[in-house]
């Protein structure tokens, strides 16, 4: 049996969606296939790698990629993580469940190193909480 696919979309597939992919793989385990992509591919943000390392999740080998229509069309759940992705995402088939999380872009955080790190941590932790909610809501519907 094919596993359901969760597709996490953002503008550049560098921060939010990369952290979400790493967290999705960790939290959802082998029950889901987890992918991320962007409207554009900007490479994985080094700060996202650092903040994920803090919680023991290595995203160094993840790739920054643009939205793949074949993955999009096979997805069970497509989540946009920013307004740009929501507005500019290719047409999602009607049978695919969608959600929009609208998270702050940590790559745009300003201030001291500690302040920037805090923004990354807050976004990372919010993504984790929401993915855990996806897991529990999908488990209860099975």
CATH of the domain at 105: 3.40.50.2300
27: in domain: yes
72-127 residue pLDDT tens: 999 999 999 988 888 887 788 889 999 999 999 999 999 999 999 999 999 999 99
Residues known to be catalytic: 10, 82, 89
Query: Given a cut of 90, is residue 142 above it in pLDDT?
Result: no
65 domain-assigned: yes
pLDDT band at 140 (very low <50, low <70, confident <90, very high): low
23-54 confidence digits (pLDDT tens): 999 999 999 999 999 999 999 999 999 999 99
**Structural domain includes residue 61:** yes
- Whether residue 86 is contained in a domain is answered as yes
pLDDT band at 132 (very low <50, low <70, confident <90, very high): very high
Domain enclosing residue 56, as ranges: 5-135
Across the range 48-65, mean pLDDT stands at 97
Is residue 141 in some structural domain?
no
Cα(127)–Cα(93) distance, integer angstroms: 24
Residue 56: inside a domain: yes
Whether residue 140 is contained in a domain is answered as no
Q: Answer whether residue 142 is part of any domain.
A: no
**What's the structural domain count of the chain?**
1
């Amino acid at each position: 049996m094919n596993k359901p696919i969760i597709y996490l979309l953002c503008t550049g597939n560098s921060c939010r969606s990369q952290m979400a992919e790493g967290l999705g793989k960790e939290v959802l385990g082998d029950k889901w296939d987890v992918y991320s992509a962007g409207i554009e591919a900007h490479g994985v943000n080094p700060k996202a790698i650092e903040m994920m390392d803090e919680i023991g999740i290595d995203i160094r080998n993840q790739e920054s990629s643009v939205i793949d229509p074949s993955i999009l069309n096979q997805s069970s759940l497509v989540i946009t993580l920013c307004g740009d992705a929501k507005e500019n995402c290719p047409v999602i088939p009607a049978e695919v469940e969608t959600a929009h999380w609208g998270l702050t872009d940590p790559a745009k955080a300003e201030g001291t190193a500690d302040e920037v790190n805090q923004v990354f941590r807050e976004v990372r932790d919010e993504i984790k909480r929401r993915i855990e909610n996806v897991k529990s809501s999908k488990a209860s519907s099975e």
